[in-house]
Amino acid sequence: MKYIIIPGIIAIVSILGYFGMKYFSPSQKPEGAGSVKSIYDYSYRSIDGNEVKLSAFRGKKILFVNVASKCGFTPQYDDLEKLYEEQKDGLAVVGFPANDFMGQEPGSNEEIASFCRLTYGVTFPMSEKISVVGEGKHPIYRWLTDKSLNGWNSAGPKWNFHKYLVGETGELLAVFPSTTEPGSGEILAYLR
């Protein structure tokens, strides 16, 4: 009996370890990979309804984050705001509210904006509520998650507060899961 149980446990642990590492580990741009289409060709509508062209951020790194107000990771708004304040000369943080994961962003654009300002003092740019997965995903998230456009990454957000970092010249540098805190060493290493 133990000859059946032990290999079974080893197989389960190996499988969980493999998928756990894929899910919880940051991804970074492979050497020599380049963007096929420029991120600067895209724009989004701000939470206040204005069009924002990503070309306005040229020369800065951009951290794209799909956000939600009723998620266990929602307190990351504090750290995103702190990161934005400390790095805003060289970094744009852009929040994209999305209700794609367990209905954790049910509010209207007005409710989301009010919640972010009043609860977390958010001043970094926020888009209107969008979708970041599936057929209706926003074109910016199509670029971030399609290697035929960005040059190397096809991984979409697995949950709220998934992060994509784009470099000063518009190349996708790294992808970080929700568990990576905005002020973590993994992210700060790209901002030095």
**Mean predicted confidence (pLDDT) in 11-31:** 52
Quote the CA–CA distance of 141 and 186 in Å, as a whole number: 22
Q: What share of the chain is helix, strand, coil (3-state, %, to 5)?
A: 35, 20, 45
Structure tokens at 124: 């970094």
Is the model's pTM score more than 0.75? yes
- Fold exhibited by the domain 28-188: Glutaredoxin (3.40.30)
Spatial contact of 76 and 70, defined as CB atoms under 8 Å apart: no
Residue 52: both structure tokens together: 């924002």
- Tokens coding 118: 């009043």
**71 catalytic per annotation:** yes
Does pLDDT of 18 surpass 80? no
Residue the block writes with tokens 């790294």: 174
pLDDT band at residue 62, thresholds of 50, 70 and 90? Answer: very high
Q: What's the mean per-residue pLDDT of the chain?
A: 89
Tell me which of 71, 133, 155, 173 is the catalytic residue. 71
Is pLDDT at 22 greater than 80 in this prediction?
Answer: no
Over residues 102-134, the pLDDT tens digits come to 999 999 999 999 999 999 999 999 999 999 999
